[in-house]
Homo-oligomer: A and B are copies of this chain.
Amino acid sequence: MLVDVQLSRDTIVTAAMEILDSYGLADMTMRRVATHLGVAPGALYWHLANKQQLIAAIADRILAPALDTTDPASPEELADRLRTALLAHRDGAELVSAALSQPDSETRGDVEKQLSDALALDDADVSRVGAAALLHLVLGATTLEQSHRQYAADTGTPAPPTGTPAEDFRRGVSYLLHGLGRG
């Protein structure tokens, strides 16, 4: 338990991510976060409206290393960086999917804009649909990969021999990008 630091949105997010990485999304409950901070459950609700808001804030932190970049990346590179960022936290892909599924997610717009820019296409409509498709691909493929990893870790079995996931990921992205080039 962290001792006696002033409670704030940021300390709550940090505590929640420690629980996430140690025990997974299912165990990242408001009550456990509160206990971890040595505080009553209700205290969290002074700083956050609800759990969805906490999840959104965590998603932003998870995505930050992939997004806060000055140089414009290629779409391949951006997709790869997103995957890496998601894999860096237990259940990261699932959590971010949940956050971006909320209809009022601002982050989703940001990510799609950055993907769209990376595509560097003339047709804005192709960019929009292509960026959305790319994001779906990244989230879907990474969620599946991560759940397989976790299952393997839980059961002690090695990962299934479907060919290396990173390579499959890049190939899926590459197929879509080729298709977009002929938009």
Contact = CB atoms under 8 A, between A and B. Distances in A.
Interface of A: 94, 101-103, 125-126, 128-130, 132-133, 135-137, 139-141, 143-144, 147-148, 151, 162-163, 168, 171-172, 174-180, 182-183
Contacts of A101: 94, 143-144, 147
A129 B179 contact: no
B125 A136 contact: no
A25 to B, nearest CB: 12
Contacts of A130: 172, 175
Question: Chain A contact residues: over half helix, strand or loop, or mixed?
Answer: helix
Nearest to A102: B147
A149 to B, nearest CB: 10
A5 to B, nearest CB: 34
Nearest to A179: B179
B180 A175 contact: yes
B129 A175 contact: yes
A144 to B, nearest CB: 7
A151 B105 CA distance: 12
Contact of A103 (B136, B148, B176): B148
